[in-house]
Amino acid sequence: MGAVYFYHLTRQPLERTLPVLLGKARQAGWRVAVRGTDTARMNWLDEQLWLGPEDGFLAHGIAGGPHDADQPILLTTDRAANAPDCMMTIDGADIEPAEVTALERACILFDGNDPAAVQRAREQWKSLTGAGCAAQYWSEDSGRWEKKAEH
């Protein structure tokens, strides 16, 4: 049974935090899906991942191609065709309790400087923990990631 980790981004933007988390997930041997809500935003994220350091390249693809099932990291706005072990959601994208429990880990990354994003994360925490999902809340307020709550 998986758990969902909430990452409250306050110091580093998504394009800096996400590659670190993706790298850790890949080091664990996990296939990953990144689910967003907007195709243009996923295209932007794809460009950001290509701009990363050469020694830290993260092989990935955008959903809708002929090799979606083979992608170690798949950027999508829908269900993931790459049978992920880990799902990372951004921009308030939905994730269902059944998905969380079927994964090794789910991660919800949200912008702590956006009141609507914080409210959405609170709603997701309540919904997912209410459905019995194990959850952790991580904050970078102190300058490094610290676990602030666990359910």
Task: Report pLDDT digits (tens) over 67-115.
Answer: 999 999 999 999 999 999 999 999 999 999 999 999 999 999 999 999 9
Confidence check: pLDDT of 147 > 80: yes
| Predicted pLDDT at 50 | 87
Across 3-151, where does the E strand assignment appear?
3-9, 32-35, 61-62, 73-76, 86-89, 105-111, 134-139, 146-150
Q: Which range among 25-34, 49-58, 106-115 shows the weakest confidence by mean pLDDT?
A: 49-58
CB contact at 8 A, 38 and 142: no
| Predicted pLDDT at 56 | 75
**Mean pLDDT for the chain overall:** 94
| Predicted pLDDT at 40 | 97
Q: Closest by alpha carbon to 8, among 151, 128, 144? A: 144
User: What would the two tokens of residue 146 be?
Assistant: 């610290």
Superfamily name with CATH number, domain 3-97+113-150: DNA polymerase III subunit chi (3.40.50.10110)
User: What number of other Cβ atoms are within 10 A of residue 39's Cβ?
Assistant: 14
Confidence check: pLDDT of 62 > 90: yes
Token look-up 């914080």 returns: 118
**Domain spans, the chain:** 3-97+113-150
- The amino acid at residue 142 is S
